[in-house]
Chains A and B, each alone.
Chain A
Amino acid sequence: MSIADTANRPGAVDRLRDALPKLVLSPTVAIVAIFVYGFIAFTLYLSFTDSRILPSFGWVGWQNYHNLFRIRAWDTAVSNLVVFGVLYIAICCALGLLLAILLDQRIRAEGFIRTVYLYPMALSFIVTGVAWKWFLDPGIGLEAVVHGWGWESFQFDWIKNSHMAIYTIVIAAVWQTSGFVMAMFLAGLRGIDNEMLKAAQIDGASTFALYRRIVIPQLRPAFMSAFVVLAHMAIKSYDLVIALTGGGPGTSTELPATFMYSYTFTRNQMGIGAASAVIMLMTIAAIIVPYLWSELREKK
Chain B
Amino acid sequence: MGFLDIKQATKSYGAVQVLHETNISIEEGEFLVLVGPSGCGKSTLLNMIAGLEEITTGEIAIRGRSMNGVKPADRNIAMVFQSYALYPNMTVSGNISFGMEMHGIPKPEREKRIAQVSDLLQISHLLDRKPGQLSGGQRQRVAMGRALVREPDVFLFDEPLSNLDAKLRVDMRTEIKKLHQKLGTTIVYVTHDQIEALTLSTRIAVMFGGYVQQLGTPKEIYDNPANMFVAGFMGSPSMNLFPAKVVSADGKAAAEVKLADGNTAAIPFANGMLSSSVGRDIVLGLRPEAITDQDGADRNSRAIHVVNAPVEVTEPAGSDTFVVSQIGGKDVTGRFRADVAVNAGETFPFAFNMEKAVAFDPQSENRIV
Measured in the bound complex, the distance between the Cα atoms of B131 and A214 in whole Å is 14
Within the complex, the shortest CB–CB distance from B274 to chain A, in Å, comes to 49
B82 touches A195 (CB 8 A): yes
* Nearest opposing residue in chain A for B100, CB measure: A203
Known A-B contacts A193-B83, A195-B81; the reply to A203 vs B89 at CB < 8 A is: no
Indicate whether A206 reaches chain B with its CB closer than 8 angstroms: yes
Q: What separation, in Å, do the CA atoms of A218 and B86 have in the docked complex? A: 12
Nearest residue (CB) in B for A202 is: B72
Cα separation A193 to B102 with both chains bound (whole Å): 20
Q: How far is the CB of B281 from chain A (nearest CB, A)?
A: 47
Chain A neighbourhood of B47, CB < 8 A: 198
Contacts of A11 in B (CB 8 A): none
List, in ascending order, chain B residues with CB within 8 A of A213's CB: 87, 89-90, 98
Residue from B79, B81, B85 whose CB has the most chain A CB atoms within 10 Å: B85
Q: Is the CB of A218 within 8 A of B102?
A: no
Instruction: Give the Cβ gap from A135 to chain B, nearest Cβ, in Å.
Output: 41
List the B side residues contacting A220 at CB < 8 Å.
Answer: 89
Contact check, B85 vs A206: say whether CB atoms are below 8 A apart: no
Within A193-218, the residues touching B (CB, 8 Å) are: 193, 195-196, 198-206, 209, 213-214, 217-218
Give B142 Cβ to nearest chain A Cβ, in Å: 12
- Tell me how far the C-beta of A295 lies from the nearest C-beta in chain B, rounded to whole angstroms: 18
Please measure, in the bound complex, the distance between the C-alpha atom of A217 and the C-alpha atom of B95, giving whole angstroms: 14
Residues of A166-194 whose CB lies within 8 A of B: 193
Contacts of B74 in A (CB 8 A): 204
- Mark each residue of chain B from 95 to 114: 1 if its CB lies under 8 Å from any CB of chain A, else 0: 00011001100000000000
In the complex, which residues of chain A have a beta carbon less than 8 angstroms from the beta carbon of B77?
A: 202
Contacts of A199 in B (CB 8 A): 79, 81, 85, 87, 146
B58 CB to closest chain A CB (Å) equals: 21
Is the beta-carbon distance between A201 and B89 smaller than 8 angstroms?
no
Contact partners of B79 in chain A: CB under 8 A? 198-199, 202
Interface residue B73 (Cβ < 8 Å from any Cβ of A): yes
**Is A205 in contact with B78, judged by CB distance below 8 angstroms?**
no
Task: Tell me, rounded to whole Å, the shortest Cβ–Cβ distance linking A252 to chain B.
Answer: 43
Contact A206 B102 (CB under 8 A): yes
Kindly provide the distance from the CB of B267 to the nearest chain A CB, expressed in whole angstroms: 50
CA distance A202 to B81 in the complex (A): 11
User: With an 8 A cutoff between CB atoms, is B195 at the interface?
Assistant: no
Q: Which residues of B contact A (CB under 8 A)?
A: 47, 50, 52, 71-74, 77-79, 81-83, 85-90, 98-99, 102-103, 146, 158
Given A201-B73, A213-B90, 4 other A-B residues pairs in contact with their CB atoms under 8 A: A195-B85, A200-B87, A213-B98, A218-B88
By Cβ-Cβ distance, the 5 closest A-B pairs, closest first, are A204-B73, A203-B99, A217-B89, A204-B102, A195-B85
**A–B Cβ pairs within 8 angstroms, 10 of them:** A193-B83, A196-B86, A198-B72, A198-B85, A199-B146, A201-B52, A202-B52, A202-B72, A209-B102, A213-B87
